[in-house]
Chains A and B, each alone.
Chain A
């Protein structure tokens, strides 16, 4: 597979492929009918009422994913210039993360995606979900950051979705994912249906603003403060976005990739061991 350029154009071509593939897939539940396009209203009779262990295990074998490059891996030993005599120093490989998936996603994933799409379309937010990634039995909705509150409130309130519990909010920094350096990842849980989904929003490093979800999920309060503290992501509308783990006057945001790990060289019997982030290591 050819990784796309890590920019908006790359994502656009992903979406094109996705919609191209969607038309030729087969219904996941024969006899019950499945909408061919995302805009169509799903059949109400398709909703599952019982929730057994089998519902949880989603086979994603039929799902095709289109991978997306978020950076480049240089060499093999983390050494630049001289010092690397292995011959691997010239290696250059793209760092590829799983990209948008095509229908069918498998199991209840399709049902959840259908309901979400339908509800968002009713609110005029068809474009809110940029892509859906199904990977390793987990589903991730990549959402436009300006629509995260709207999408989350649909996910929480709709009786067919009922993701009433926000498990976790975490920041991830992809320094080479241009224009999308800062990611915020929400792990949602529906206790009513015993389902888990993930919502991911991105923001450029130059403008690291994401709307807060604290009014919807009060549990996000401290977790968003931690993401601000560690990544410098600004959650607009948060009641008191202050540092939580680091001291109040700490400069910088320690879990960004460009923030050094720190540490001092340790000398032992004449030899010196450099700090972990300066050691020669595989990458």
Chain B
């Protein structure tokens, strides 16, 4: 927008005998301070963050204090805005996965899943996704839920000074990331769930690693409960802190563990099952205290449930060896397969040999699908999934082209963070750290 000197927000000009003078001391500031009167003497406004170890990422908090009591709390966000939604409009539908996996970096599979499910609904191939791809999606999402909750518990512990909880949490999370690396090739930013299925079949030996992980986690998860559940210091910091009841959650759009900690067992895996969740045996975890402690316990219990689902998914995968992981429609399915070569992972040499040496038509097909991509029928879809933080949804709009017309992500971190003021005001400044940790916002998802 055109801005000339006369419209400068921060330096209004005035003409004097010495020429034009820009007054940068600030507009109506004096009238504001005059209005405040004497109360300004007792009023302290503290800026906390965005670079602060206890604000759970690059979150800026503007706190008005009275002594150590927070009277008003406001959030400043946007420090990690990367324009992912805009960027996705300039790439093909498959490339979009590579972008959205980077939003909420602690739960990448959920970002991918909601976008891919929306795309598949627009393509009308929801019923054609192979069973093995569905099971692998569930397996990865539940492993991801464990790793994400581990970080929530770990950083939440770190922010109140419980550093042992942090080292424990990151120790176990590393095991999950090792599994991700085995299955997808990457620890984070996988871009593994693709429209039509998943990028790769399960590599040899992955099931053994998963089984070993399940056995280990059955021993390790109870350690968190032993360490924290009855710990008087831990309880003292968390119990009754960041209270938000069911009505508050619904009004502010808060989902996930904060909603379930009010005693309402709302879980999209049960209420609107996707990827075959209705066929797995698991329970929705709730708590009835509506405080930070309840959210912690919900997360702890959900990890146990996720482990149950991972176990069931691993059993199914054992019976699905060699089954397809990509939709049969060759006009949508990614043409090439990846393979581990002498120089790392890349296109399968068999595939290169086929398209370069044997079949001109395969080469054309590969070229068209990789450079142009497939067209998605015009329309819009919204298929939310239950991410570790709540309802993660992608509003996917197509105009019938080879690129998304518009993708909007309803990120649970973004929406849940609106609860900060309600949870924090009236409490101690040290409790605001606990309240925000109990929402577990991931700023990559908040700012997108």
**Per-position contact with B for A242-266: 1 when CB-CB < 8 Å, else 0?**
0111110101101100000100000
Q: Which of A136-180 contact B (CB under 8 A)?
A: 136-138, 140, 164-168, 170-173
B380 A185 Cβ-Cβ under 8 A: yes
Chain B residues in 8 Å Cβ range of A164: 250
B378 A167 Cβ-Cβ under 8 A: no
Distance of A196 from chain B, by nearest CB (Å) = 7
Q: How many residues of chain A get a CB closer than 8 Å to chain B's CBs?
A: 53
State in angstroms the CA–CA spacing of A196 and B393 once bound together: 12
B272 A194 Cβ-Cβ under 8 A: yes
State in angstroms the CA–CA spacing of A95 and B375 once bound together: 12
A173 B406 Cβ-Cβ under 8 A: yes
Is the C-beta of A80 less than 8 angstroms from some C-beta in chain B?
Answer: no
Chain B residues in 8 Å Cβ range of A211: none
Chain A residues in 8 Å Cβ range of B86: 254-255, 261
Chain B residues in 8 Å Cβ range of A245: 77-78, 81, 447-448
Distance of A215 from chain B, by nearest CB (Å) = 11
Distance of A109 from chain B, by nearest CB (Å) = 15
**Per-position contact with A for B227-241: 1 when CB-CB < 8 Å, else 0?**
000000000000000
Q: Which of A230-252 contact B (CB under 8 A)?
A: 230, 243-247, 249, 251-252
A218 B3 Cβ-Cβ under 8 A: no
A187 B251 Cβ-Cβ under 8 A: no
Chain B residues in 8 Å Cβ range of A226: 414
Q: For B400, give the chain A residue with the smallest CB separation.
A: A95
A219 B415 Cβ-Cβ under 8 A: yes
Is the C-beta of B47 less than 8 angstroms from some C-beta in chain A?
Answer: no
Taking A138-B381, A173-B406, A198-B382 as contacts, is the C-beta distance between A246 and B415 under 8 angstroms? Answer: no
State in angstroms the CA–CA spacing of A96 and B400 once bound together: 8
Residue from A97, A170, A222 having most chain B Cβ neighbours under 10 A = A170
Chain B residues in 8 Å Cβ range of A283: 401-403
Q: Which of B51-85 contact A (CB under 8 A)?
A: 77-78, 81, 83, 85
A261 B87 Cβ-Cβ under 8 A: yes
Taking A173-B406, A244-B77, A277-B90 as contacts, is the C-beta distance between A136 and B250 under 8 angstroms? Answer: no
Is the C-beta of B161 less than 8 angstroms from some C-beta in chain A?
Answer: no
Is the C-beta of A12 less than 8 angstroms from some C-beta in chain B?
Answer: no
Instruction: Tally the A-B contacts, defined by beta carbons under 8 Å.
Output: 135
A97 B414 Cβ-Cβ under 8 A: no
Is the C-beta of A41 less than 8 angstroms from some C-beta in chain B?
Answer: no
Q: For A223, give the chain B residue with the smallest CB separation.
A: B415
State in angstroms the CA–CA spacing of A140 and B382 once bound together: 11
Chain B residues in 8 Å Cβ range of A194: 271-272
Is the C-beta of A33 less than 8 angstroms from some C-beta in chain B?
Answer: no
B81 A185 Cβ-Cβ under 8 A: no
A246 B90 Cβ-Cβ under 8 A: no
Taking A168-B393, A187-B410 as contacts, is the C-beta distance between A247 and B251 under 8 angstroms? Answer: no
B395 A170 Cβ-Cβ under 8 A: yes
B250 A165 Cβ-Cβ under 8 A: yes
State in angstroms the CA–CA spacing of A95 and B91 once bound together: 19
Is the C-beta of B282 less than 8 angstroms from some C-beta in chain A?
Answer: no
Distance of B85 from chain A, by nearest CB (Å) = 6
Q: For A187, give the chain B residue with the smallest CB separation.
A: B382
A167 B402 Cβ-Cβ under 8 A: no
State in angstroms the CA–CA spacing of A73 and B271 once bound together: 40
A137 B78 Cβ-Cβ under 8 A: no
State in angstroms the CA–CA spacing of A218 and B408 once bound together: 19
Residue from A164, A219, A247, A277 having most chain B Cβ neighbours under 10 A = A219
Task: Given contacts A95-B401, A222-B414, A245-B448, list 19 more A-B pairs with CB under 8 A.
Answer: A136-B379, A138-B380, A138-B382, A167-B391, A167-B393, A167-B410, A194-B272, A196-B272, A219-B251, A219-B415, A244-B78, A245-B81, A252-B1, A255-B85, A255-B406, A261-B87, A282-B373, A282-B403, A283-B402
Chain B residues with a Cβ under 8 A of chain A: 1, 3, 9-10, 77-78, 81, 83, 85-87, 89-91, 121-122, 124, 250-254, 266, 271-273, 278, 371-373, 378-382, 384, 391, 393, 395, 397, 399-403, 405-406, 408, 410, 414-415, 417-418, 447-448
Name 5 A/B residue pairs within 8 A (Cβ), A-sorted. A135-B379, A135-B380, A168-B410, A196-B272, A283-B401
Interchain residue pairs A-B with the least CB separation, the first 9: A219-B253, A170-B408, A168-B410, A245-B78, A251-B1, A245-B81, A276-B90, A282-B372, A95-B399
